[in-house]
Structure 1
Amino acid sequence: MCASGAGLAPESRAELLSILAGDADENIAQRAGSALLSIPVEAFASAAGKAEAAPQLLRYCAENLAAKPGVADALAKNKACPAELVVAVVPQLTTSAVQELIDDLARLADSPALAAALAASPSITIEQKKLLQELEAEGIDAKAMEEAVAEAEPDPHKKETMVQRLGRMRVMDRMKLALVGNREERLALIRDPNKLVQRAVLQSPKLTGQEVENFAAMASLNDEILRLIATNRAFIKNYVVVKNLLNNPKVPLDASLHLLPRLNDTDMKFLTMNKNVPETLRSMAMKIIRQKKLFQSG
């Protein structure tokens, strides 16, 4: 089998040989190891990107092929790849693969070593480095946290307790809470002074459509978070989210203009009368209304 491949696709052969290379039988292990050398790098990159890839294949790629084109990126993009292996291949990652890892806040929160490796990556951009530096931020603005909790928890006693609890947490801990906490905690943490904590709220698997609708209407959120909501395909499938974003003066103009065609005629008309949003947005809404009337009359 090691020599002939037994009719297997290159990706499957790479995986099987990676397993056999660790066989207890030394003869089988040596033959498998030799046969691995004849497999194209593209086959390893393809196999390493599959969620069901064998652990032996992932380790072989990380230890022997990380510098080959596409292999390190494939390992990093595979959520099933152990963090220790991803950390090992970070120096070989492209800037786009580094960005994907930074965007995956659950992985960052679970592995401080990964965050540290990414910060030292030769491929990291200045903007990416600034974002990762937020993980190392010391302390927290007590007043900012108190204001963030105020709307989330109206009960004075519970509010004080939450402020104290969040104030003792490191950034990583608040990120984890943003991902797995309850609705009140998410409502507080979406206003957290740290951008990564805010982003983690939007990645929470517990986040509901109604919460996103509420976030979209909040002029108290920073424009970066509102942009993330406006460019998230899953979020903007919800019409209320779109409507709330378009009527929120804090949403960046380019994001609002992109969403404008999604608005129905009635809400488009109301938008033209909303003096809180930019004049450019209202003018474009009026142009769309006039254009539609021309088409209908013609």
Structure 2
Amino acid sequence: MQAARGKIPLEAGDLGAVLLYLSHDTDTEIAEAAIASIRGLSGNRLMSVLEAPETHPYLLEIFSRLHCNDTAIGEVIASHPSVAVETLEFLSLHGVTTATEFYGVLSSLDETPEGEQPPPEFEEEEADEEEFKSKYQLAQSMGVAEKIKMALTGDKEWRGILIKDSNKLVSGGVVKNPRITDSEIITIAKSAVQNDDIIRVICSNKEWVKNYNIRKALVENNKTPLPQALRFLATLSEKDLASLAKSKNISSVIATQARRLLLNKNKK
């Protein structure tokens, strides 16, 4: 909570990383405190975070919107080496000269020259594969703070790489990423994740456990806490209960309870 309130002395880059991470915390009070600290950053402290080379693009995007009427802050954000094209576009619309110049150059690079054809689809697929390999290689050389930031804000490929990270803060950050999908959660719930906290986070998310396939995957995962597994078991269909009752890959307690539930359903 002290970290979320910005009361622990940290280097500018680390401060941004910590506040960004804690703003996604499952504890509502900690998340709200971190968000309040992000909103409250000002003066030299804010400038230090904006000028730190390791400040994440997502945090730059947040500050660009919080301070969209402050041209000086906008110029610093637009000059950051990690600023996203979308952030430059937003700043250019609010009259930040540097952003307008940078965005104009980047936009021109995206245009296909007249007379040239875009590359065929199979080349795009090869490019995606190469990009995934390069991301994996990049992850090997990244520090913990960088991995945490990427886990919280990265795309599907980054999430797939970092969910397997041995550091619990990194792998745990993946399930706090606001862009994560139900299909990814199903895959995680079915896997033998090293970080038990990830399963607990999934179990406590009311939206995710509305999904039948997620509940089923949690029941079948031996790392799911027994009370939650039993609660989700009671919501499964007779067909799945019958399968679980015969399964040797799950806890004997779950298999026994599945048989009991099945017998009760048959009696009714």
**Residue 291 of structure 1: CA displacement?**
1.9
1:252 pairs with 2:225: yes
CA distance in 1, matches of 2:29, 2:130: 49
Q: List runs of 5+ in structure 1 lacking aligned partners.
A: 1-72, 87-108, 111-154
172, 185, 189: which one pairs with 1:212?
185
**Residue 277 of structure 1: CA displacement?**
0.3
**Residue 74 of structure 1: CA displacement?**
7.5
Aligned residues of 1:180 and 1:205 also touching (Cα < 8 A):
yes
Equivalent residue, structure 2, for 1:222 = 195
1:163 pairs with 2:139: no
TM-score, normalization by structure 2:
0.52
Equivalent residue, structure 1, for 2:155 = 182
CA distance in 2, matches of 1:188, 1:74: 30
**Residue 257 of structure 1: CA displacement?**
1.4
Equivalent residue, structure 1, for 2:211 = 238
1:82 pairs with 2:8: no
Deviations 1:197-226 (A, max 9, x none): 112111111101111111111124433212
Aligned residues of 1:229 and 1:236 also touching (Cα < 8 A):
yes
Question: Structure 2 vs 1, CA of residues 182 and 80 (structure 1 numbering), >3 Å: closer, same or farther?
Answer: closer
Aligned residues: 160
CA distance in 1, matches of 2:35, 2:134: 37
**Residue 172 of structure 1: CA displacement?**
1.8
Task: Give 2:37's aligned amino acid.
Answer: P
Write the mapping of 1:1-298 to structure 2, written as runs, cut at 5 A. 77=32, 80-83=35-38, 161-294=134-267, 296=268
Deviations 1:12-31 (A, max 9, x none): xxxxxxxxxxxxxxxxxxxx
CA distance in 1, matches of 2:208, 2:239: 21
Aligned residues of 2:162 and 2:170 also touching (Cα < 8 A):
yes
Task: Give 1:187's aligned amino acid.
Answer: G
Higher RCO (CA 8 Å, separation ≥ 6 residues): 2
Aligned residues of 2:166 and 2:194 also touching (Cα < 8 A):
no
Aligned residues of 2:168 and 2:195 also touching (Cα < 8 A):
no
Equivalent residue, structure 2, for 1:149 = none
CA distance in 2, matches of 1:220, 1:76: 25
Cα RMSD for the two superposed structures? 3.3
CA distance in 2, matches of 1:216, 1:205: 17
**Residue 162 of structure 1: CA displacement?**
2.7
CA distance in 2, matches of 1:210, 1:78: 31
CA distance in 2, matches of 1:211, 1:204: 11
CA distance in 1, matches of 2:232, 2:30: 35
CA distance in 1, matches of 2:190, 2:134: 27
**Which consecutive aligned stretches of 4+ in structure 1 deviate over 6 angstroms post-superposition?**
73-76
Aligned residues of 1:223 and 1:252 also touching (Cα < 8 A):
no
Question: Structure 2 vs 1, CA of residues 179 and 77 (structure 1 numbering), >3 Å: closer, same or farther?
Answer: closer
CA distance in 2, matches of 1:239, 1:76: 28
Question: Structure 2 vs 1, CA of residues 278 and 85 (structure 1 numbering), >3 Å: closer, same or farther?
Answer: same
**Residue 168 of structure 1: CA displacement?**
2.3
